[in-house]
Amino acid sequence: MNSITILGGRDKEGRAEELDFTCKRGEIVCIVGPTGAGKSRFLEDIECFAQGDTPTGRRVLVDGAAPPEETRFESEKKLVSCLSQNMNFVMDLSVREFLAMHAEARGIQAGGVEDDSFIRRIAAAANALTGEAFELDTPVTRLSGGQSRALMIADTAMLSPSPVVLIDELENAGVDREAALNLLVSGEKIIIISTHDPAIALLGGRRLCIRGGAVRGVFTTGEAERANAKIIAALNGRLLELRRLLREGKTLDFNMEDFFSEH
């Protein structure tokens, strides 16, 4: 599989949506739009490879053709993995057992007791995305929200064969989002991510703007936007610094204007 194509359906009022959008492996596409506009619905259409049979009437093609039924409904042939907001681990496994189980389910020889270097690499990649590292022996149910999110991102990037990754709002909950997207895109996957955050929206090569249930615009991130993305990232870095200070029990009663103009 090299590309997916989304063909327009209709907006919430039933008017036709003008859309013929193809994205390829290695691309990051962002979805922006007001609350309730239909961003999550757009991702759901891709997740189920809609064929005119969802509320939007959209159709999703794989390499230019309707996907065979088995890719739509059989989980082991799934082309899509989803990183959702809620990670609820049902089994009390250690991180090591959890990753070993995933590797085995996906037919990857992750080594046994004698060689857990692959599992170590995944855990290290996850830990590189967050503030406080977890151990291989940490039970997954004890991971924090940010840590479990990071583990799922590393797991998806390094263990999942699915070429398409859908992310519904990668919020700033202690995960280094730019590093997370770089990790995912390094696996030559198609990443489609809905966001309310300008720092994330400009990380994509292209973005779709949704309103009233339909895509109203397709934008390519231009030169000026890329330059501005760096400034936004720097501002974001300052905000994260404020968060770090609060977390460390510091007060924020210093001169904010100076603080923001320092960098």
Ligand X SMILES: Nc1ncnc2c1ncn2[C@@H]1O[C@H](COP(=O)(O)OP(=O)(O)OP(=O)(O)O)[C@@H](O)[C@H]1O
Which range in 28-36, 120-128, 177-185, 232-240 contacts ligand X by CB under 6 A? 28-36
Under rule CB under 6 A, residue 197 binds ligand X: no
Under rule CB under 6 A, residue 56 binds ligand X: yes
> With CB cut-offs between 5 and 8 Å by kind, which of Mg ion, ligand X, none does residue 174 bind?
none
Minimum CB distance to ligand X, residue 138 (Å): 31
Instruction: Spell out the long-range contacts of 94-99 with Cβ–Cβ below 8 A and sequence spacing 24 or more.
Output: 94/136, 94/137, 94/138, 94/139, 94/140, 95/123, 95/134, 95/135, 95/136, 95/137, 95/138, 95/139, 95/140, 95/143, 95/151, 96/123, 96/136, 96/137, 98/140, 98/151, 99/123, 99/155, 99/159
The CA distance from 36 to 50, in Å, is 20
The CA distance from 207 to 196, in Å, is 12
Q: Which is nearer to ligand X, 37 or 166 (CB)?
A: 37
> With CB cut-offs between 5 and 8 Å by kind, which of Mg ion, ligand X, none does residue 208 bind?
none
Minimum CB distance to Mg ion, residue 39 (Å): 5
Under rule CB under 5 A, residue 84 binds Mg ion: no
Under rule CB under 6 A, residue 213 binds ligand X: yes
Minimum CB distance to Mg ion, residue 168 (Å): 6
Number of residue whose CB is nearest Mg ion: 40
Q: List the interface residues with Mg ion, window 108-147 (CB under 5 A).
A: none
At CA 47, angle to CA 11 and CA 75, rounded to 5?
Answer: 155
> With CB cut-offs between 5 and 8 Å by kind, which of ligand X, Mg ion, none does residue 55 bind?
ligand X
Q: List the interface residues with ligand X, window 2-21 (CB under 6 A).
A: 10-12
Under rule CB under 5 A, residue 40 binds Mg ion: yes
Under rule CB under 6 A, residue 237 binds ligand X: no
Q: Which is nearer to Mg ion, 129 or 193 (CB)?
A: 193
Minimum CB distance to ligand X, residue 42 (Å): 7
Q: List the interface residues with ligand X, window 32-51 (CB under 6 A).
A: 33, 35-41
Q: Which is nearer to ligand X, 42 or 98 (CB)?
A: 42
Q: Which is nearer to Mg ion, 211 or 238 (CB)?
A: 211
Q: Which chain residues interact with ligand X by CB under 6 A?
A: 10-12, 33, 35-41, 55-56, 213-214
Q: Which chain residues interact with Mg ion by CB under 5 A?
A: 40
